[in-house]
Amino acid sequence: MPADASQALPVVRVSRVAQVSRFLRVARLLLWTLWVIYRERRRVVRARQRGDTHVQPNVEALIAVLVGFRTTALQLGGLMIKLGQFLSARADLLPEQALAVLGSLQDEVPAAPYSHVASVIEAELGKPVDQLFTALDREATAAASFGQVHKGVLAATGQTVAVKVQRPGIDRLVRTDLSTMRFVIWVISRFVDTTDVIDLPGFYREVRRTTFEELDYVAEAANAERFRELFKDRPGVSIPRVCEGYVSRRVLVLEWVDGIKINDYAALEAAGVDRMAVARQTVEAYLYQFFEVGFFHADPHPGNIFVVPAERAAMAAPGTSEALELAGVSGAPADTEAGTAAAVTFVDFGMVGTLAPGTKQAFRDLFLGFLAGSAHAMVDSLQRLDFIGPGANVAAIERGVSLLLAQYRGITLGEARDLDFPKVASEIEALFYGQPFRLPATFAFTGKAIGTVAGVATGLAPELNLIDVAAPYARRFLGLDAAGAGQTAQQLLSQVLAGGRSLLTMPAALERVLAKLETGQIEIGLADGPPGGRRGRRGRSAGGPGAAGSSLSTAAMFAASIAGGALLLTQDLPAPGWFCLALAGVLGAAQVFRR
């Protein structure tokens, strides 16, 4: 904190005229962009409702509005750049050519002058820069929408560090832009129903929440420490340590990562790094974050992921070496069969996402449905996640998803990259435009994270097959181990997923069946009756050959179900095993109620 009043953070004064001008520019930018996107979507939807399936959105109009958005966003900075990055991940709303316009928005952000950086550091940490650091680069090593990073050396310890500094006055600009955004959403909601595309009020709340979290570097430091704890026992991933005593709301100092940018393929090759191993480590790290923890790094663009070869760990600063050793990379070089051992290192923890337990389970089921090639499981999960609105033709969506799975599920990332995207987009649009698909507000930035990780992994190892990487996680989710190694991952997943669905619906089904048995709406007869086919309730109760045969058949099925369930459980196949035991329960309950 500041040592005295003279060191208080300088106030960036913005005139009333400048505020009004910014409000008008932002409002016009948002209204025009959202209107053109909505207009093109509505035109295509209406055409296809008339049976004209060949109508496509006007790509030239979309590109023109997004070029204007990018130009203005770079001029205005702040929140507008974040919104542009969000739009760049909306493949369901924009064709590939339009998305490409916003793809490089992150790399075009200009850095603030060094004088501004120094003033913020001194105001926040309460000392002159030359007393805090023996060296501090005047040029930023990275610049983002809300802050930038400079390389420095701590005067107290001699440790090389990354100094993250917030842009002066950015919080004031962000508050102005959020107010403008709320006004624009209010205006749009008064005249247009966008609920079939995105919950705009919910999206605003999500943007507001993540924005203020990203502006608080104290919260970011806590996120970094949480990630260090989550990955401390997981080989191949490291998280930089926060430097205690150098954290404030607008300044954050962490140990320097002497790594290679994950998309610098030439440097990775020169260092002998196994690109396939790095791709697998990155994807596995996100599978772990999404499906096991429910807490994930939400901004995984290439500037936030580095690869640290083992030999660099030997020469790293003390804190870095320890972090890499915890990540499974020793201080001495260690070669694998395909290349040098390396740690994937994540930085910048301002934007994180959290999945509630119910959401995480539905997201996991969606993932398992994809791996098993089950359109039914995927559509069911999408409904639970609120991606599919009311009034949807679920059967038609399942048929469409089945076709997409059959055509694209087993391809490698490189094959996916080389697809004819206009053709693929046309196929997907035929599905999306015809049904009430929408983006839940809680997934506003999750999709961007998933798409970015997929892009990073594709660049590293185009031959990577996602199913091969994901199968071990699916096996762990479903309680499978080496006992099922003789079957393919898809066979195992398909069998267990089917059994799992039956098991999940079993309690409700049992309740309905038992209620009907109790009220006499269902009669179970497993033995042949007399020629007339009718038998009174008294005759059944009184026993006789038919009743005895029925009881024996039921008892045999009951015993077989018990035995089969026990056998399957001993073979480490829990879902089919419990299914058999549940069937035994149904038969036993039926026998009880028959009496």
Catalytic residues: 299
pLDDT at 320 over 60: no
Alpha-carbon gap, residue 252 to 246, rounded angstroms: 6
309: β partners: 342
Q: Give the DSSP letter of residue 340.
A: B
The whole-number average pLDDT for the span 95-104 is: 70
The more confidently predicted of residues 250 and 413 is: 250
Tokens read off for 471: 């199968």
Residue 220 vs residues 82, 100, 179, 225, 514: alpha-carbon distances, Å: 17, 30, 24, 9, 54
Q: How many CB atoms lie within 10 A of CB 468?
A: 11
pLDDT at 12 over 90: no
pLDDT at 355 over 80: yes
pLDDT of residue 127: 94
pLDDT at 151 over 70: yes
- Among 468, 515, 517, which residue's Cα sits nearest to residue 493? 468
pLDDT at 331 over 60: no
Alpha-carbon gap, residue 1 to 250, rounded angstroms: 11
The more confidently predicted of residues 526 and 224 is: 224
pLDDT tens, residue by residue, 32-75: 888 888 788 778 767 766 777 677 778 888 888 888 888 888 88
Strand ranges inside 352-495, DSSP E: 352-354
260: β partners: 307
Alpha-carbon gap, residue 82 to 210, rounded angstroms: 10
pLDDT of residue 579: 65
Ranking 151-160, 210-219, 438-447 by mean pLDDT, the lowest is 438-447
Long-range pairs, 412-420, Cβ under 8 A, ≥24 = 412/462, 412/463, 412/464, 412/465, 413/454, 413/457, 413/458, 413/461, 413/462, 413/463, 413/464, 413/465, 413/466, 414/458, 414/462, 414/463, 414/464, 415/462, 416/458, 417/458, 417/462
pLDDT tens, residue by residue, 419-433: 665 566 566 666 655
The more confidently predicted of residues 241 and 543 is: 241
pLDDT of residue 268: 92
Position 125 confidence tier, pLDDT thresholds 50, 70, 90: very high
Long-range pairs, 190-193, Cβ under 8 A, ≥24 = 192/38
pLDDT at 529 over 60: no
The whole-number average pLDDT for the span 177-204 is: 81
pLDDT at 239 over 60: yes
pLDDT at 503 over 80: no
Count each helix (H run) and each strand (E run) in the chain, helices first: 24, 12
346: β partners: 305
pLDDT at 2 over 70: no
The phi-psi region of residue 127 (left if phi > 0; otherwise alpha if psi is between -120 and 50; otherwise beta) is: beta
The phi-psi region of residue 101 (left if phi > 0; otherwise alpha if psi is between -120 and 50; otherwise beta) is: alpha
pLDDT tens, residue by residue, 169-181: 888 889 889 999 9
pLDDT of residue 196: 62
Residue type, 518: E
What's the mean per-residue pLDDT of the chain? Answer: 74
pLDDT tens, residue by residue, 277-319: 999 999 999 989 988 888 999 888 888 899 998 766 545 444 4
pLDDT of residue 577: 62
Q: Are 265 and 70 in contact (CB under 8 A)?
A: no
Domains of the chain, CATH where assigned: 5-110+170-214 (no CATH), 114-167+216-351 (3.30.200.20), 357-449+466-484 (no CATH), 498-594 (no CATH)
pLDDT at 10 over 60: no
Tokens read off for 31: 């209204």
pLDDT of residue 575: 57
pLDDT of residue 334: 36
Position 267 confidence tier, pLDDT thresholds 50, 70, 90: very high
The whole-number average pLDDT for the span 307-332 is: 51
